[in-house]
Amino acid sequence: MKPDKKIFLSCDWGSSRFRLRLVDALEEKVLGEIESGEGIVATFTAWKKTGKAEPHRFAFYCSVIQKHIGLLEQKMGTKTTTPIIVSGMASSTLGMKELPYKATPFLITGDDLLIDETKPDDNFHFPLYQVSGIKTADDVMRGEETQILGCGLQGDEAKQIIILPGTHSKHAVVCGEKVVSFATFMTGELFRLLAQHSMLAQSVAAGTWDDIRHQKTFAKGVTDSASMNLLQSSFRVRINDLFHRLSKEENYFYLSGLVIGTELQSLDRSLSHLLVADKSLSLLYTKALQVMKFLNWKHIDANDCLLKGHLKIYRRIVDGGAKD
Amino acid sequence: MKPDKKIFLSCDWGSSRFRLRLVDALEEKVLGEIESGEGIVATFTAWKKTGKAEPHRFAFYCSVIQKHIGLLEQKMGTKTTTPIIVSGMASSTLGMKELPYKATPFLITGDDLLIDETKPDDNFHFPLYQVSGIKTADDVMRGEETQILGCGLQGDEAKQIIILPGTHSKHAVVCGEKVVSFATFMTGELFRLLAQHSMLAQSVAAGTWDDIRHQKTFAKGVTDSASMNLLQSSFRVRINDLFHRLSKEENYFYLSGLVIGTELQSLDRSLSHLLVADKSLSLLYTKALQVMKFLNWKHIDANDCLLKGHLKIYRRIVDGGAKD
């Protein structure tokens, strides 16, 4: 099968997840998708175990991609030799090839992102394009820049904040056609540490969002985050359990509300906000923004932004810089 | 040897440490001391492993005390059959005998603390007095109340805050002769979680306080804690490492400064403060209070407060309520 310029592989290689999608660029449609737990951290660990010398690292990571392409081809019953775009942690110190960060500001068109090309060879038959991360004087991101490109901003909007929740949430400030700065919040990681590894672990148990009582205690956590810092408020989780005020499941969402509320307390309310989140996180962040009485905000799907971000990058690098 | 009313055993049984001291109440002097890692958590785990029925629990914990008394006697070359006062987590759900919390306010004389007496029997030859913890509507403490009794407050001071740093730091508000309220901060535990179990673990390494560079980065952490919440500021630890701004040892103290600074941001600066800390924590908290330009505060040794607190309790329960 000859390379088809209208089809490409979109790879989002995060710390803990690997996701590969075959995309029809004309239709802006995902043709097939495969996902696994072989994120960058697991892959780096596997690479270290081989004991091989550093020059072999890139090929090792390519073999992981190759394996997933094989699985995707098998799933779809077709063969492919398209370009592949890789964003996320693949460009980090733990990744396949470390790339320097591009400094802010960067354009929401994606035209000034640093993209590293590796031409196909006998071992790996796909032209590979790695997207580098972004830095400010005090912060870094790898992967979220691609989602930001796909947010559908037109470049003429007033200053606003894009909220990208996750293990390490990002708040990016966009002004006109540029992302001018951003900040990281260790929200997801701290929640996990507190819920699983602190003395609070015995006071919480995962529950389902559908339960209205869980939503209520989540809202209470968001509200309480405004009046206490997290060192103090988190001990309330223990008290809720000790004083039999909340069930362990309710308490889990109370803790979630405290942590997410603490993150969102940092936002500048005079600006408008764009929440870029997948389904489960959007439920939580949407509720938090409502509880905190934010008025000027919208939500878009993170998955969709990732696709559109990769489409922008694809058009730039493969079609020679054409804009959408 | 006959019981000597002027001598008693002072036992501070915390979550992770067990400490036993033989005290001369007239001289207010520690005659001998023994310490071990058999705290309440380890003891509870050992108790669970025995598989014995609940009614045997108290005797099991007594056997742990008995063992330590034996070691202390051996060390001192003497025998003793004095009363023993036990404060700390021994009265918790994980302890030897759970006692209800006394509700705030409580008197700094110790006269209204709940003290539970167990008379000596054939198995345990020592009259045993357990001190119960304290609760407010939203918080609990077990152990710190004893230290507060020993702070040397006269009961006629203006409203002030006693800062008791630790795994779970307490800020207790004293007014006149009463402790009226307090709050808990998960400072020590969160520092440990971040330094050992988060992605920041690879960016920090324990160092010594004596190094002036470590003190400097600690101070920077305290300062930065004023302008960012902990979810954001803690990611700076990663950045300091990534951008080669600080050594891992400096970064360890930077993180410590962030966490302790965040705790102390909650203080009401219009009040005076009394820091009750052991040597290592007093170095950190003293520096933090200086950096934050607190003016109206004093420091006293936590170990000394514990001794004086137990002396107050001893006089009340053994000498029939005599005050010092």
DSSP 8-state class, residue A292: T
DSSP 8-state class, residue A195: I
The CATH 3.30.420.310 portion of chain A extends over: 187-293
SS (H, E, C) B6-56: CEEEEEEECCCCEEEEEEECCCCEEEEEEEECCCHHHHHHHHHHHCCCHHH
A160, β-bridge pairs: A174, A272
Flag whether pLDDT at B1 surpasses 50: no
The pLDDT score that the predictor gives to residue B88 is: 97
Six token digits for residue B62: 């007594």
- A–B CB contacts, 8 A cutoff, strictly below: 93
Phi/psi of residue B60, nearest 5 degrees: -65, -45
Strand order in the sheet with B169-175: B106-107, B178-185, B169-175, B160-164, B272-277, B297-301
How far, in Å, CA of B236 to CA of B254, rounded? 9
CA distance B126 to chain A (A): 31
A134 near A247, Cβ under 8 Å? no
Any chain A CB within 8 A of the CB of B202?
no
Tell me the pLDDT tens digit for each residue of B8-39: 999 999 988 999 999 999 999 999 999 999 99
Flag whether pLDDT at B140 surpasses 70: yes
B180 near B103, Cβ under 8 Å? no
Long-range contact set of residues B34-38: C-beta below 8 Å, sequence gap at least 24 = B34/B68, B34/B71, B34/B72, B34/B75, B36/B68, B38/B64, B38/B68
pLDDT top residue among B6 and B208? B208
B72, β-bridge pairs: none
To the nearest 10°, report the CA torsion of B204, A197, B86, B127.
Answer: -140
The pLDDT score that the predictor gives to residue A1 is: 41
Any chain B CB within 8 A of the CB of A244?
no
Domain A187-293: top CATH class: alpha beta
Q: What sign does the CA torsion over A174, A177, A180, A183 have?
A: positive
Q: What's the angle, vertex CA A213, arms to CA A207 and CA A216, rounded to 5?
A: 110
Average pLDDT over chain B, rounded to an integer: 94
Length of chain B equals: 324
B136 near B103, Cβ under 8 Å? yes
The pLDDT score that the predictor gives to residue A79 is: 85
Nearest chain A residue to B167 by CA distance is: A199
Tell me the pLDDT tens digit for each residue of B249-299: 999 999 999 999 999 999 999 999 999 999 999 999 999 999 999 999 999
**Backbone angle region of A321, left / alpha / beta, with phi > 0 → left and psi within -120 to 50 → alpha:** left
B84-88 vs B102-103, strand pairing mode? unpaired
The pLDDT score that the predictor gives to residue A321 is: 47
Contacts of B214 by beta carbon, 8 Å cutoff, 6+ apart: B207, B208, B249, B250, B252, B253
How far, in Å, CA of B30 to CA of B9, rounded? 10
Q: HSE (CB half, 13 Å, CA atoms) of B210?
A: 1
DSSP 8-state class, residue A196: I
The CATH 3.30.420.300 portion of chain A extends over: 7-155+303-318
Sorting pLDDT into bands at 50, 70 and 90, what band is B317?
A: confident
pLDDT top residue among B96 and B323? B96
Phi/psi of residue B58, nearest 5 degrees: -55, -45
Least confident of A78-87, A132-141, B197-206, B210-219: A78-87
In chain A, what are the helix, strand and coil shares in percent, each to the nearest 5?
A: 40, 25, 35
The pLDDT score that the predictor gives to residue B80 is: 81
| Residues of chain B found within 8 Å of residue A140, distances taken between Cβ atoms | 239, 242
Report which secondary-structure segment, H or E, holds A34: strand A29-36
Tell me the pLDDT tens digit for each residue of B184-195: 999 999 999 999
A232, A246, A254, best to mutate vs chain B, most B CBs in 10 Å:
A232
User: Which SS3 state, helix, strand or coil, does residue A29 take?
Assistant: strand
Q: Which CATH topology does B7-156+303-318 take? A: Nucleotidyltransferase; domain 5 (3.30.420)
Report which secondary-structure segment, H or E, holds A135: strand A134-135
pLDDT along chain A (324 residues), means of 10: 72 95 94 96 96 96 96 91 94 95 96 95 92 97 97 93 97 97 97 96 96 98 97 98 97 98 96 96 98 96 97 85 42
The pLDDT score that the predictor gives to residue A319 is: 63
Contact A140 B242 (CB under 8 A): yes
CATH code given to domain A7-155+303-318: 3.30.420.300
Sorting pLDDT into bands at 50, 70 and 90, what band is B79?
A: confident
| Residues of chain A found within 8 Å of residue B231, distances taken between Cβ atoms | 169, 185-187, 190, 230, 259, 262-263, 266
DSSP 8-state class, residue A267: S
Sorting pLDDT into bands at 50, 70 and 90, what band is B5?
A: low
Any chain B CB within 8 A of the CB of A202?
no
**178-197 of A, contacting B, C-beta below 8 A:** 183-187, 189-190, 193-194, 197
